[in-house]
Structure 1
Amino acid sequence: MITRHLTDISSKGFKVHEISGAVDTLHNHNRRDYYKIVLVTGDMILTYGDQTIEINGTILFFANPRVPHTVVHRSKEKKGYACLFTEAFIAGRERAEILQSSPLFRTDANPVIPVNSEQAAFLGSLYREMLSVHRSDYDYRNQLLRSCVELIIHEALKIQPSPNGLQQKNAATRITHLFMELLERQFPVESTGDPLRLRTAQDFAGALSVHVNYLNRAVKGFTGKPTSVHIAERIAAEAKALLQHSNWSIADIAYGLGFEYPTYFNNYFKRVTGATPKSFRKRKV
């Protein structure tokens, strides 16, 4: 069943299904290529990034593929609905504003929103509409499915309380942890064919779907160092390791670390470490 769902997502960009019956006690989510919105009733513990959230009731859960999560079910059964989709399926200029402000794309937002029986009934009707449309041969079904997802997001934004000072502080802490995790996840660099993709504060802000100024404020406020310094130190540390413990050429190291030309890497490494890659490599014993 799970394989069929994921195959549909891969080929069509969207999948919706009903959740019912017995469930696995532990569910790990490690995929990084699709988003998920779940309306579910159950008793469970959700670990999302650096958060641990206890749930007993009906909730709307927004899973961002950039944030790993684990669900431990404490009840034998759960019920609800889930829709899964790629960013390419849902994204579009006309939807950019609502998506970027939603807990679906903002990794600093609370991913869990409790809902009451009236809200759950309305959200459930949207999922049932998606199930019906997804099975149909309606010519404009993708547009209708996107509209249903957008309605769910609007409802979530209506329900979700406005952030207060403490929540803002917690959000800044969380986005800093996510930045550090995303930075570290890129290493070690193991192939020049799979070069480093995220090398600037703007790159990371885009990956985390937050404004670069917000990311910089959060990271510097929490760690005392700018985002750019963390990135430069980690790239330099990886460069040192490759220079000392691999037989890669300096050009290969440059390409593996995402530099377009070896000269750019040489200048970068010297600026950060005070030595050229060649002179640093000569220190290898």
Structure 2
Amino acid sequence: MSLSLHFSGIADVYKFFNLDQLLKHPLVAVIDFSDVDEQVLEDTRISGDYYCLLFKRYDGNNVRYGRKVIDFNNGSLMCIGPNQVLEMETNIDTYTEKEGWGVFFHPDLIRATSLQDKMKDYSFFSYEVWEALHMSEKEKQIFYECVQKLAGELQENIDVHSQDIIVSNIELLLNYCTRFYGRQFITRKSMNGSVVMQVEKILSDHFKSGKLEEQGLPTVKDLADKVNLSPGYLSDLLKKETGKNTQDHIHYYLIEEAKNVLISTNKSVGEVAYLLGFEYPQYFNKLFKQKTGKTPVEFRNMN
């Protein structure tokens, strides 16, 4: 039987982990998993209204997202956004020891701060759980030291400086996530190269199919689904490998196809736009001018 839990606040997190001590801060918590009584005795689906940085390493516990299972035995870091659903699976026979930590913070903590505006840049919160960050021992130590500083600040009495210091420590953790994910993209270059080739083949086949008018343009989600990655992770991977994100790749193939049609046929610009899947020709004109510096008519006249 599956159990679904939704945590509306940090206090619910404390209750789930059976923490008896007083909640130090209503909007943020640091939890050391080696010190808590966590027993997930059946499949449990968990979601919450908070952001979470979750590092775990212990035997007998996996996380499932859809059909993907992540084994925590070696340890990895997940960055989880509000309302993302995780399914915990526990093997009671092999459940022995646990190690790790979690940083939980509610969106209200960073509201009206500079960090709120930066959250959209931390695209790893949109990654799927199987795209977790696998860290070196040095990286784990850096994260642990940052988490310890944040935990230490939460032990202090709240004063006028508390929020700035707490938010700054969280921002530092997120910036390290950005750095280390960048390293992970580099160290997985051969694997990433295969993904780039897959994306290019999918796009090439789509535009050669002759069904563009019927099927429309492929979306970022379409491509991500076909290579079994999340849209955010795929875009970041392509950006690291090629300098262009997923939407840029789609637009590149679109504009190349538009050039071919403009030169090889006498179709009007409106007809070309519809052929390429645009509902409104003006959108096609704007994109073509943005990508080439010329309008479709200007390009045709030059060739």
Q: TM-score, normalised by structure 2?
A: 0.48
Q: In the aligned structure 1, how far is the partner of 2:172 from the partner of 2:154?
A: 16
Q: How does 1:130-279 map to 2 (within 5 A)?
A: 130-139=150-159, 140-160=161-181, 161-162=184-185, 164=192, 166=195, 172-173=224-225
Unaligned 5+ segments in structure 1 are 180-212, 218-225, 227-285
Give the count of matched residue pairs: 182
Change (3 A) 1:96 1:90: closer
1:110, CA displacement in angstroms? 5.8
Q: Which residue of 1 is the match for residue 83 of structure 2?
A: 66
Conservation of the 8 A alpha-carbon contact between 2:29 and 2:105: yes
Relative to structure 1, the CA distance from residue 90 to residue 34 in structure 2 (aligned partners, 3 Å threshold; closer, same or farther) is same
CA contact (8 A) 1:36 1:82 kept: yes
1:79 to 85, 99, 112: 99
Give the conservation status (yes or no) of the 8 Å contact 2:80–2:126. Answer: no
* Alignment CA distance shift 1:177-1:80 (3 Å): closer
Instruction: Answer yes or no: is the 8 Å Cα contact 2:63–2:89 preserved in 1.
Output: yes
| C-alpha spacing 1:93/1:130, structure 2 compared with 1 (3 Å) | closer
Q: Which runs of 5 or more structure 2 residues have no equivalent in the other structure? A: 1-13, 200-220, 232-245, 251-276, 278-303
CA distances 1:11-50 after superposition (whole Å, capped 9, x unpaired)? 7211112110564245734333112111222243211355
2:44 aligned with 1:20, yes or no? no
Alignment check: 8 A CA contact 2:63 2:70 kept: yes
In structure 1, the residue matched to 2:288 is none
**What is the aligned partner in structure 1 of residue 139 from structure 2?**
119
Partner of 1:33: 49
Larger Rg: 1 or 2?
Answer: 2
Deviations 1:102-130 (A, max 9, x none): 25532568651111211111111111111
**1:177 Cα shift?**
11
Name the CA shift for 1:71/1:16 in 2 (closer, same or farther; >3 Å). same
CA deviation profile, 1:197-252 (whole Å, cap 9, x unmatched):
xxxxxxxxxxxxxxxx96xx8xxxxxxxx9xxxxxxxxxxxxxxxxxxxxxxxxxx
Q: 2:83, 2:195 → 1: CA distance?
A: 24
The alignment yields a C-alpha RMSD, in angstroms, of 4.0
Residue 166 and residue 92 in structure 1: after superposition, are their counterparts in 2 closer, same or farther (change >3 A)? farther
The structure-2 alpha-carbon separation of the partners of 1:61 and 1:150, relative to structure 1 and needing over 3 Å to count, comes to: same
Question: In structure 2, the residue corresponding to 1:20 is in which secondary structure?
Answer: helix
1:91-102 correspondence runs (5 A): 91-92=111-112, 94-96=114-116, 98-102=118-122
1:169-200 Cα deviation digits (max 9, x unpaired): 688229x9999xxxxxxxxxxxxxxxxxxxxx
User: Residues of 2 paired with 1:127 and 1:93: CA distance?
Assistant: 20
Measured after TM superposition, the shift of residue 2 of structure 1 is: 2.4
Q: Which residue of 2 aligns with 1:190?
A: none
Shift of 1:98: 4.0
Contact 1:47 1:69 in 2 (8 A): yes
Give the Cα–Cα distance (whole angstroms) in 1 for the partners of residues 125 and 135 of structure 2: 20
Question: Compared with structure 1, are the counterparts of its residues 53 and 99 closer, same or farther at alpha carbon in structure 2 (3 Å cutoff)?
Answer: same
Which deviates further from its counterpart, 50-59 or 33-42? 50-59
- SS of 1:89's partner is helix
Amino acid in structure 1 at the alignment position of 2:170: V
Q: Do the aligned residues in 2 keep the contact of 1:36 with 1:63 (CA within 8 Å)?
A: yes
d(CA) in 2 for partners of 1:103 and 1:5? 31
Whether the 8 Å CA contact 1:23–1:76 is kept in 2: the answer is: no
Q: What is the TM-score when the length of structure 1 is the normalising length?
A: 0.51
**Do 1:41 and 1:59's aligned partners in 2 also have CA atoms closer than 8 Å?**
yes
